[in-house]
Structure formats: C-alpha cells, structure tokens
Amino acid sequence: MAFGYERPPEVLISYYQYGDLIHWGEKREPLAKVAAEDPVLEGMYRITFMEAMFVFAHIYMGFAKVIEALRGPAS
C-alpha cells in the first residue's frame, strides 16, 4: 500500500475540507462512517490530513517569499 492509512493526502484533504471543516457536503458520509467504525483510524486520517496541510502551508509561505522578492515589499 502506497499510503499507510489507506487514503492518499489529496483524498483526506478533500474529506476534511468538504466533509467536516468548510461545510458538510457529499464527503461527510465516508468520513462519518470511518469515525463510527474505527475511531483510531479516523484519528490517523486527521493527523495525516494535518501533516499534509502543514506541508502545503510551508510550500505556499516559501512561494510567497519568492514572489515578494520579485515584486518588492508591499507598501
């Protein structure tokens, strides 16, 4: 298995953004099912989701610094 907890980061981001944190859309059902059947696995999913978002935040902060260096500081 490529990912240790059965779901790749892009799926977990989709589950938590569109099934829990932003709004309860169509992704709510699979996330609620996992939480009901195996709370430990849901905890692993949540941690993996947070790790993926942490990495994206660092990438975007670094990219913002590159853009700032090209454009100059905001006045």
Q: Is residue 64 part of a domain?
A: yes
Q: Is residue 16 part of a domain?
A: no
pLDDT tens digits for 21-62? 777 778 888 888 888 999 998 888 888 889 888 988 888 888
Q: Using the structure block, give the residue that is written with the tokens 């994206």.
A: 56
In this prediction, residue 36 carries a pLDDT of: 92
Find the domain containing 51 and state its range: 30-70
Q: Is residue 3 part of a domain?
A: no
Q: Is residue 8 part of a domain?
A: no
Burial of 71 per CB tally in 10 Å (0-12, 13-18, 19+): exposed
- Give the pLDDT band of residue 75 (cuts 50, 70, 90): low
Q: Is residue 10 part of a domain?
A: no
Q: Is residue 20 part of a domain?
A: no
Q: Is residue 9 part of a domain?
A: no
Count: domains in the chain? 1
**pTM across the whole model:** 0.69
In this prediction, residue 1 carries a pLDDT of: 46
